[in-house]
Amino acid sequence: MQIQSLAGLNRDQIVAYAKTDIAYRYALEELNPFTVTGDAGLYVQHNADGHLDAGQVSDLYLQDRAAMLSWLLQFNVNDNAPTATPYGDTFYILGSFVDRYYFKDVATNTKIRLGETVDLLQPPTDFRHIVFGGGQGEILNGSATSDHLYGGSRR
């Protein structure tokens, strides 16, 4: 068995590993900054219904989840502290962005906004939403942009 940090990987690398390795799919589900590889049996108790099996989630889900995790890892590695907004979430300033993104994981209450500094104090409805449900029958709301809403978390 090996413990491997995901901090040095980008979104596409994490997705590539997640397509073939349950350890990476589990790390994505839990937003863990590491994987434990070399013994797939470790994940049996977390995968009783087979939701972590290869092919059970879309490529787009893997890409969005890996993007969220990649941003969290980058902020943590760089010791970027989030700033609170009047809307009850946080944002990170990290250069310029063409689009405004609002990532939300309901199960962990993790919320991230990415955008130009001037845009970050705008209401979340002005951002492209990528939302992961917590599996408790929540209502997931998007915005007027091209959003990605994922229900059915197995937490």
Residues 38 and 103 in one domain: no
pLDDT band at 64 (very low <50, low <70, confident <90, very high): very high
Residues 37 and 100 in one domain: no
Q: Are 34 and 3 in contact (CB under 8 A)?
A: yes
What is the residue-averaged pLDDT of the chain?
A: 84
Residues 84 and 148 in one domain: yes
Report how many domains make up the chain. Answer: 2
Residues 140 and 85 in one domain: yes
Residue 95 has pLDDT above 70, yes or no: no
**Bridging pattern class, strands 128-132 and 101-105:** parallel
Looking at residue 15, its pLDDT comes to 97
Q: What is the pLDDT of residues 22-47, one digit of tens each?
A: 999 999 999 999 999 999 889 999 98
Residue 138 has pLDDT above 60, yes or no: yes
Which of 12, 30, 59 is the last residue before a domain boundary?
Answer: 59
Q: Which of 113, 109, 115 is nearest to 136 (CA)?
A: 109
Residues 20 and 50 in one domain: yes
* Dist. CA 65–CA 139, nearest whole Å: 19
Residues 50 and 86 in one domain: no
Average confidence (pLDDT) over 100-126: 77
Angle at 35 between CA 12 and CA 113, to 5 degrees: 55
Q: Are 101 and 119 in contact (CB under 8 A)?
A: no
Residues 90 and 144 in one domain: yes
Residue 77 has pLDDT above 70, yes or no: yes
Residue 101 has pLDDT above 80, yes or no: yes
Range of the domain at 100: 80-155
pLDDT band at 115 (very low <50, low <70, confident <90, very high): confident
Tell me which amino acid residue 153 is.
Answer: S
Residue 94 has pLDDT above 60, yes or no: no
**Bridging pattern class, strands 128-132 and 148-150:** parallel
